[in-house]
Amino acid sequence: MKRTAFTMIELIFVIVVLGILSAIAIPKFAATRDDAQIAKGRSDVAAIRSAIVSERQGRLLRGDSAYINKLHNNTATLFDNNGTATSTILQYGIVTQANTNGHWQNSADQNGTSWVYKYRVLGSDNSFTYNPTNGTFTCTNGTSCGLLVN
């Protein structure tokens, strides 16, 4: 009579191989998530900077040489407009989520003559300052600023 079952040694060998593969794969997946959040942040920064320039060009065509004064209307949605429905910055604003990796938040106060927005990635906040006098949107403070801007 012929038996067609696995031996105990074969089963243990398969379990050990699966354990080794999972020990290698799980850290790679975590790194992939961090890379995706960095890529999202870089994309957001590029879109925001492009929107600032586009808004400025539209204003110049209307005879207004000033930059938009802020990039949000309220603290729940960022980069939507500056209080007027006709002045859209991004087509779809970014909803804030405090203390969550890969998300933006508003510092809720004006820093002198500039507005401060934060993007959290790799467990730390990176502050971006919008200066309405010259239209710059720069990373001013954070451990991942070099990863988020070109």
pLDDT per residue of the chain (150 residues) written in tens, 0 to 9: 677 788 889 899 999 999 998 888 888 877 788 889 999 999 999 988 998 898 888 889 989 888 888 787 765 677 776 555 556 677 777 877 878 888 888 775 565 667 888 899 988 889 898 888 898 999 988 888 888 886
Question: Residue 90 CA to chain centroid, in angstroms?
Answer: 14
Q: In degrees rounded to 5, what are phi and psi of residue 140?
A: -105, -20
Distance CA 129, CA 134 (A): 12
Contact 50, 42 (CB under 8 A): no
How confident is the model at residue 42, as a pLDDT?
Answer: 92
Q: In degrees rounded to 5, what are phi and psi of residue 74?
A: -145, -175
How confident is the model at residue 1, as a pLDDT?
Answer: 64
